[in-house]
Structure 1
Amino acid sequence: MAEFSAPFDGSPIATQSQWSRMARRWGLDGVHGDGPTSTALKVTGNGTGNVSLAIGEAFVNGFYYSNDATKSVPVTANAGSVARIDMVVLRASMSSKTVRVFYRTGGTSAPTLASDEGGDYEVPLAQCTVAPGTSVVTVAGVQDRRWFTDRGAAPGVPGARRPSIKGQLLVEGNSLLLGDGADWKWLATGGVEEGTYTPVWTCGSSTVNWGSGSSNVGRYQVFGRRVDVTMHLVPAGNPPAYAAPLQVTLPPGYPCTSLTRSLFTWVLSSANGEGSVLGAAMTYPTESTSRIARIRYLMQNGSTSTSTPSGQDLSTNSPFNIRNGDVFTLTGTYWTA
């Protein structure tokens, strides 16, 4: 197969097929509108033998179409004994060299759209239901089936935004915004889809060894400056009874902010007859921005309703002896620096 490139001097776009193949790369087929509330090329029933096509523009198979006045489209009479489901379509025809609106009859289901890029190619506008023995399509008998297309995402500069355009996407740096016609609404900020790491557990200056063959996995997702993290630990051994509080590292490269403490929840289920416990964990940015510095459980001081509860630090041996087969899960969200 010969190579081809265009348009250059001496190598122009010479055929409609070449144009179609090139133009299809510019954008999707469909009606130029900002969504279902748009009237562009909207089809309506009026209880007569016609349906009405509103003004509007579209791309079909890479070709431009424009209708600048309301157009009546004749409905084919239904000579059958059951309701018929038809379609109003825009058809690009390579043989007739046009894009035109067509009314296509179906049956108990809608007709299949033509999709021959080198022949006839159709995009839907509406589905119409015609009662038996009539050529009438009522207002309720039309269902909107338009495909919409637009300009894609526009780049922008923070602090110098263009006026909001309804349905338009705007990219500013690492953020995606959507226009509603009055303002730009934040949608998302780029981040890390999913990452895993091996959490490092420490007690004071000692690194905890959970035993050969232990399961120790951290999973995280990043949304802008927000990080979601889950850690799952199943020891395969019995580490020493460190007296210092148990701590664990955050995902590498994503330190917590120094402005606030972030909270996490954790659950420890013992496989050694010690029950289970639910607690809270938190970052202490004044102590470290790279780890969860407190893993705590609540304990009641005293036996009366007025006794003040106290948060106690979890360690490798208190109040549980964390060892082979136990399951520890920690999950939560924090903000990066």
Structure 2
Amino acid sequence: MAEFSGPFDGSPISTQLQWSRMARRWGLDGVHAQDPTSTALKVTGSGVNTVAVAAGHASVNGFYYYLDATKNLTVPANSGGAARVDLAILRADMTAKKVTAEYKTGGTTAPTLTQIENGVWEIPLAQCTVAAGASVVTAANVLDKRYLTDRGVIPSIGGARPPAAKNQLLIEDGQLYVGDGAAWRWLATAGVQEATYTPVWTAGATTINWGSGATNIGHYQAVGKRVDLTIQLTPTGNPPKYDDPIQVALPPGLPATGSHRSLFNWNFTSSNGEGSAVGVAFVAASDGLNKVGRLRYGVSSGNSSSAIPNSFSLFTNHPFDIRSGDVLTIDGSYWTA
């Protein structure tokens, strides 16, 4: 067993392999570019026996590479009877102690990249197809294969963001943004990972007991101030009649906003011969913002066009006697306070 750490005084980075292993932790292999439209180290074919590699920067196996002007790579003639698929590559060579842009010939398929940690390490720039009997690569026969790499997510102080570099990620107070070259566009917000809780059901001040072993689960996920919620109830008992409508608690620590009513769909299916129903549930500020305060179902005074529609609240015993085997589901999304 051997341990290594560094660099320290008296324990420097003394070999290129040590450097490569350390530097690879700073960033991935690839051309330094923030956008696929960047021409950094992009390969083009012009219909002659060379392809051109544009100027740019890259990292290869932990080593830095910089090309300050266009470099032409010679395309060997294809003497075979079928099209040949080649690669333009960057090659880090531990023996030669350098990184260079090279042209690597293949066959009916592209050549395999050599990637030996303490030897030769190659990454692709472009795939080039050479027609049978030819030694030229046209622009149409060059396929961009560059790995792109750049800075990771950058932190930001509110009111002091840097310019919005294209495709750059920025995080600020739990908010993730992506730059489009002109502005930072919101992408995501820190929230609550998928989680469950045991909903508390009440009728007024009384807690409803749905029976030992009842299925009673709330399944939720929060992204920023938006919460997705599903509550599933299957009783194993028959609670008594209560004079107050059924209410159920929202996930702990995620009360609904009081600026408007949050709405949910609910569905009831009886396994006791009492049919089924659907309705709308809502959070009412008067009942408290930490619970679904009403489960309402539609009714009417008649079936004529002049009949006045209305809605009633769901009780433990009305319009159904909710008991063992029945299923009540509440589903929807709401904004938190």
TM-score by length of 1: 0.96
Output the CA distance in 2 between the equivalents of 1:55 and 1:306: 78
Q: How far off is 1:199 after superposition?
A: 0.6
Match of 1:55 in 2: 55
Aligned residue identity for 1:283: V
CA contact (8 A) 1:208 1:239 kept: yes
Q: How far off is 1:206 after superposition?
A: 1.7
Aligned residue identity for 2:281: A
Match of 2:207 in 1: 207
Output the CA distance in 1 between the equivalents of 2:301 and 2:88: 75
Deviation track 1:63-115 (CA, whole Å, cap 9, x = no partner) reads 00111111111122222222222211111111111111121222232222222
Q: How far off is 1:150 after superposition?
A: 0.9
Deviation track 1:250-277 (CA, whole Å, cap 9, x = no partner) reads 0011111222211111111222222222
- 1:133-152 equivalent positions in 2, closer than 5 A: 133-152=133-152
Match of 2:300 in 1: 300
TM-score by length of 2: 0.96
Q: How far off is 1:169 after superposition?
A: 1.0
3-state DSSP of counterpart to 2:105? strand
Output the CA distance in 1 between the equivalents of 2:79 and 2:277: 73
3-state DSSP of counterpart to 1:227? strand
Q: Which runs of 5+ in 1 are unaligned?
A: none
Output the CA distance in 2 between the equivalents of 1:330 and 1:111: 57
* Aligned sequence identity (%): 58
Aligned residue identity for 1:254: L
How many pairs align? 337
Aligned residue identity for 1:201: W
Output the CA distance in 1 between the equivalents of 2:30 and 2:221: 35
The reply to whether residue 159 of structure 1 matches residue 148 of structure 2 is no
CA contact (8 A) 1:220 1:227 kept: yes
Match of 1:247 in 2: 247
The reply to whether residue 332 of structure 1 matches residue 319 of structure 2 is no
The reply to whether residue 118 of structure 1 matches residue 118 of structure 2 is yes
Deviation track 1:167-200 (CA, whole Å, cap 9, x = no partner) reads 1111111111111111001111111111110011
Match of 1:33 in 2: 33
Q: Which runs of 5+ in 2 are unaligned?
A: none
Match of 1:274 in 2: 274
Output the CA distance in 2 between the equivalents of 1:192 and 1:327: 27
Match of 1:320 in 2: 320
3-state DSSP of counterpart to 1:22? helix
Output the CA distance in 2 between the equivalents of 1:329 and 1:50: 68
Match of 1:263 in 2: 263
When the two chains are superposed, the root-mean-square deviation of aligned CA atoms in Å is 1.4
Q: How far off is 1:316 after superposition?
A: 1.6
Q: How far off is 1:203 after superposition?
A: 1.2
CA contact (8 A) 1:225 1:335 kept: yes
Deviation track 1:146-176 (CA, whole Å, cap 9, x = no partner) reads 1111111111111121111111111111111
CA contact (8 A) 1:258 1:286 kept: no
CA contact (8 A) 1:24 1:62 kept: yes
Output the CA distance in 2 between the equivalents of 1:93 and 1:301: 86
